């Protein structure tokens, strides 16, 4: 059977239309991916909200809050939120959630207690008036439930110091009241701990087809119809 000229042109038009639809679909998909990428980058650069609250009328806690982002596993790889090599080394088959924190300890003291013996240096050729000085060696330090500073100078004037700060950090993730946006909140009772950045990511892992509602409903329907047919 031969194809007429009219039919040939119709086939060519259909092919061109299909190619055009394919190219347009690809363009729209890329645009959506780029917009999604920009949205995620903007969410990662959101500012942190700081506030405090009281528990049991005695415990003051500091909270640092930032929106959590939900991404696919491929998006997490693309944005370098998850590295495949590290995932392999941690022996994780799949990552469902990851929260990264950046913080610092800020302790400002204008004085520290010491064990040194303070003496007064009397005026001499290089000193015009009396000046206080501390005899070596001596120790200094300060300690509270939030930090411990200990140090000192040896007989040669060499200083050594150690600083320890207990870290009590809780990371909460969930949906806040009156909002549909997932949120990550970091809390602590230590007023000297400052959270500078929170990067909380939830990985949206698609369910396998056999775990989806449509598959279960279809399977149940087929089983029901099959049972009715067997009963007849």
- Using a cut of 0.75, tell me whether the model's pTM lies above it: no
* CB 170, CB 152: distance < 8 Å: no
pLDDT tens string 124-151: 666 677 777 788 899 999 999 999 999 9
- pLDDT band with cut points at 50, 70 and 90 for residue 160: very high
Lowest-confidence segment of 1-15, 157-171, 175-189 by average pLDDT? 1-15
- Amino acid 9: pLDDT: 66
Lowest-confidence segment of 13-27, 107-121, 174-188, 191-205 by average pLDDT? 13-27
Sign of the Cα pseudo-torsion (27, 31, 34, 36, in order): negative
pLDDT tens string 56-101: 989 999 999 998 888 888 888 888 888 999 999 999 988 889 999 9
- Amino acid 75: pLDDT: 81
- Range 15-50 burial, b when 16+ CB lie within 10 A, else e: eeeeeeeeeeeeeeeeeeeeeeeeebeebbeeeeee
The winner for highest mean pLDDT among 22-26, 29-33, 190-194 is 190-194
Indicate if the pLDDT at residue 212 is higher than 70: no
pLDDT, averaged across the chain: 79
- Amino acid 219: pLDDT: 54
Instruction: Identify which has the larger pLDDT, 66 or 123.
Output: 66
- Amino acid 114: pLDDT: 86
**Spatial separation of the C-alpha atoms in residues 69 and 54, rounded to whole Å:** 28
- 147 phi and psi, to 5 degrees? -160, 165
- Amino acid 103: pLDDT: 93
Considering only CA atoms, which of 226, 101, 103, 228 is closest in space to residue 173? 101
The H or E element that residue 162 is part of is strand 159-164
């Amino acid at each position: 059977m031969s194809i007429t000229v009219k039919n040939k042109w119709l086939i060519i038009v259909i092919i061109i239309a299909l190619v055009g639809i394919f190219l347009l679909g690809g363009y729209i998909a890329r645009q959506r991916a780029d917009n999604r990428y920009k949205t995620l980058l903007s969410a990662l650069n959101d500012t942190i909200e700081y506030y405090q609250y009281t528990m049991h009328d005695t415990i003051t806690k500091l909270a640092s809050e930032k929106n959590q982002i939900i991404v696919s596993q491929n998006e997490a790889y693309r944005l370098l939120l998850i590295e495949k090599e590290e995932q392999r080394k941690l022996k994780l088959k799949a990552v469902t959630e990851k929260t990264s924190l950046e913080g610092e300890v800020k302790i400002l003291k204008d004085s520290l207690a010491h064990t040194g013996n303070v003496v007064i240096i009397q005026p001499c050729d290089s000193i015009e008036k009396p000046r206080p000085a501390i005899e070596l060696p001596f120790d200094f330090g300060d300690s509270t439930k939030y930090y411990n500073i200990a140090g000192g100078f040896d007989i040669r004037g060499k200083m050594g110091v150690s600083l320890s700060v207990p870290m009590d950090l809780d990371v909460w993730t969930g949906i806040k009241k009156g909002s549909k946006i997932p949120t990550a909140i970091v809390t602590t009772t230590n007023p000297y701990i400052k959270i500078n950045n929170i990067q909380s990511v939830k990985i949206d892992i698609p369910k396998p087809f056999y775990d989806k509602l449509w598959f279960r409903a279809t399977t149940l329907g087929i089983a029901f119809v099959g049972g009715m047919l067997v009963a007849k």
